[in-house]
Amino acid sequence: MQTFRSEIENPIVERDIIELANKIELFNNGKIDEEKFRSLRLARGVYGQRQEGVQMIRIKVPYGKLKSNQLRRISEVSDEYSRGRLHITTRQDIQIHYVDLNRTPELWAELEKDEVTVREACGNVVRNVTASETAGIDVKEPFDVSPYADALYKFFLRNPICQEMGRKFKVSFSSTDEDTGLSYLHDIGYIAKVQNGVRGFKVVVAGGLGSQPRHADVLFDFIETDKIIPIMEGVLRVFDRYGERKSRAKARMKFLLKDIGLEAFKELVAEEQKAIEFKSVAIDADAYVPSKPVSVEVPQVEIKDQEAFELWKSTNLIPQKQEGYVAIGIKVLLGDFYTDKARLLADLVDKYAAGEVRLTLRQNIVIPFVKEELLPLFYQELEKLGFVEAGYNKAVDITACPGTDTCNLGIASSTGIADELERVIKAEYPQYLKNEDLVIKISGCMNACGQHNMANIGFQGMSVRTPDKLVAPALQVLLGGGNLGDGNGVFADKVVKVPSKRGPEALRRVLDDYEANAGGKSYVDYYKEKGQKYFYDFLQDLQDVSDLKPEDFIDWGTNEEYVKEIGVGECAGVVIDLIATLFLESEEKIDNAKESFENKVYSGAIYYAYQSLVNSAKALLLAENKKTNTHAGIIKDFDELFVASDKINLGVSFADLIYQINKFAPTEEFAAKYIENANEFLAKVRAFRNSETVA
């Protein structure tokens, strides 16, 4: 542990890393429950992998912006602790795999040397804050959303109100009405707007993908920039209190909105504003320091294949609002690249661009601030790295999650079929190298990490059973989804389920039909016009599994016969709570509250005390085998079972005691009183529990 102290300047980060190391030691010595430990490590970016005994580490890259020194640091860490491969996710993170759990604290310490964090990259927390990869350079944007995404990310990192929610919470920022941040499928999404010369955002809430995709609702058509953090804090408080906690399948924000309705949700968010310390959080956008392009002489470069260069320029360049500059889109197959290329890329952008890259929602890389006259040089240097494949963000640029390669939940290969479908398009449909209207996405399971159900053409990994009970890998084919802009979108319909080896034929039929009959319409409009049955009719014969051949039982990207293996999913960090453990946690939260109080962070102190009160009540309810699905339910049931029956005398109802949190402003006086309430309550429920167990 001493090495962390000597090398990490930030004491908060240092304590985080030491805590992780200590908990790993307790876990290894059998002194902490496995499921309980899972919750802690997930919130530190340490995710169980399909392969036993190793971990996936998810590295947060807020709004996708990665400085060259940070890219080098991540590369060093991957080489030292992993296998030298970097994976870009659809949420602008970087993942590395096959990491020894015991080495994760020192890995984290190494990353922090260049201000790279894994904190809250997984688990029931606010996940990485994503944004349009063209933020700050987009010719259509009313303003750069980067300063606002940055401020929001920093405000909620380690914030006590969002450390132990019932489920993960996803945030996005879109630079323009084109909604390139995909707000409509996020828990909360912000779309940049200007009204009467004032900057602000349209706010949408409770979108999501997965097995039951839901379109986000409009919470506000426009709020000024100083309100985005208070509004999100209110939303998080409501989600934390009323969101499902027991059943993972119902624990996302989208289910809470579906249950209580938008108007009731708005009222709850408004009520929480009384308890929020900062009613306005002004974000000084001018204080945000964007990357600055370097000034260099333009070297003479001779392009050997002029035709390939012109094709690349026609598909991989992004206009910039800064005169004389363009951005370069790099198509990264399946989001995977290696550290040797990463280092050379960092050197290139340091010397000739602005010392940064952007990670995109389609698992690619953007280099901003490239002088137009430097394009031949960049093409030459990127060609050496294998980074000049044409078709950035076009139909040939397929998004896919890791699937059965490394993910516990993967049912069928998403990377293998993605590779094959890209080969089919390049070989048989070269016109799609320039088609940016057709979006193809693939997920290895229903959880939609590959975002398959918002694609024009989507594939979801499944399995299929033959009449003689053999199991083969399969793909659900989904059609007709798409982003319509300004917070609007449509989700794809499930059309047919086909054996995986027939995936390419399904794609051929869909593309052939589109080519022959769409007449220039967008795929979303064409699908809407024809309807689900039209597509089912010419694909349904591919579903027949009565005559599968031996090769149909071998999934893409492997030579072995398919075996359906699904591990325990860790996307939500399910926690199995023990009564004694909950009491100990209540003590810890009171200690955290006292520390926050001493540091004059009264809002944090109050929220820790609130968590202690809920935890303590939950312990007694579990002892009685009662459901503890939501915080609100715990409060109601505790009153009915223990207070109304006079088993425990609080002098008031438990609801009156605990709901002081949204009745009073977070003052020093109230914080002190509320912490005392939590301490006294813990003592009473412990005494009751002891009397019951002794009896």
Asked: is 399-553 a CATH 3.30.413.10 domain? The reply is yes
Question: Distance from CA of residue 220 to its chain's centroid?
Answer: 23
Is the CB of residue 641 less than 8 Å from the CB of residue 624? yes
Residues in CB range of 52: below 8 A, 6 or more apart = none
In order, the DSSP letters of 9-30 are --HHHHHHHHHHHHHHHHHHTT
Give all strands (DSSP E) within 552-610, no chain letters. Answer: none
- Which structure tokens are listed for 105? 């604290």
Q: Which long-range contacts (CB under 8 A, 24 or more apart) does 510-513 make?
A: 510/457, 510/477, 510/479, 510/535, 510/539, 511/425, 511/429, 511/432, 513/538
Residues in CB range of 496: below 8 A, 6 or more apart = 476, 477, 506, 536, 539, 540, 542, 543
Q: Which CATH class is domain 137-289?
A: alpha beta
Is the CB of residue 605 less than 8 Å from the CB of residue 590? no
For CATH 3.30.70.3340, the residue range(s) in the chain are 306-384
In order, the DSSP letters of 498-565 are EEGGGHHHHHHHHHHHHHHH-TT--HHHHHHHH-HHHHHHHHGGGG--TT--GGGGB-TT-SSBP---
Classify residue 186 by its DSSP letter: S
Write down the H helix ranges in 273-357: 306-316, 339-352
In order, the DSSP letters of 118-145 are -TTSSSSSEEEEEE-TTTTT-TT-SS--
- Which structure tokens are listed for 155? 């405000």
- pLDDT (tens digit per residue) in 221-259: 999 999 999 999 999 999 999 999 888 778 999 999 999
Distance (Å, whole) CA 349 – CA 328: 11
Asked: is 306-384 a CATH 3.30.70.3340 domain? The reply is yes
For CATH 3.30.413.10, the residue range(s) in the chain are 137-289, 399-553
Burial class (CB in 10 A: 0-12, 13-18, 19+), 70: buried
Amino acid at 307: E
Taking the domain 1-123, which CATH number applies? 3.30.70.2500
Residues in CB range of 404: below 8 A, 6 or more apart = 50, 410, 411, 412, 413, 414, 444, 461, 555
In this prediction, residue 659 carries a pLDDT of 96
- Which structure tokens are listed for 118? 């894994």
In this prediction, residue 480 carries a pLDDT of 96
In this prediction, residue 401 carries a pLDDT of 86
Amino acid at 158: R
Amino acid at 529: E
In this prediction, residue 1 carries a pLDDT of 37
Is the CB of residue 208 less than 8 Å from the CB of residue 185? yes
The list of the chain residues with pLDDT below 50 reads: 1-2, 5-6, 567-577
Residues in CB range of 541: below 8 A, 6 or more apart = none
Amino acid at 51: Q
**How many CA atoms are closer than 13 Å to the CA of 555, on its beta-carbon side?**
26
Question: Distance from CA of residue 132 to its chain's centroid?
Answer: 14
Distance (Å, whole) CA 656 – CA 338: 57
In this prediction, residue 247 carries a pLDDT of 83
For CATH 1.20.120.330, the residue range(s) in the chain are 579-694
For CATH 3.30.70.2500, the residue range(s) in the chain are 1-123
Give the largest Cα separation in the chain, rounded: 89
Backbone angles phi, psi at 434, to 5 degrees: -110, 5
Classify residue 641 by its DSSP letter: I
In this prediction, residue 563 carries a pLDDT of 75
**Coil, helix or strand at residue 612:** helix
CATH architecture label of 579-694:
Up-down Bundle (1.20)
Distance (Å, whole) CA 57 – CA 45: 6
Distance (Å, whole) CA 336 – CA 331: 10
Q: Which among 171, 229, 268 is positioned nearest to 631, based on CA atoms?
A: 268
Strand partners, 201: 192, 223
In this prediction, residue 571 carries a pLDDT of 47
In this prediction, residue 37 carries a pLDDT of 83
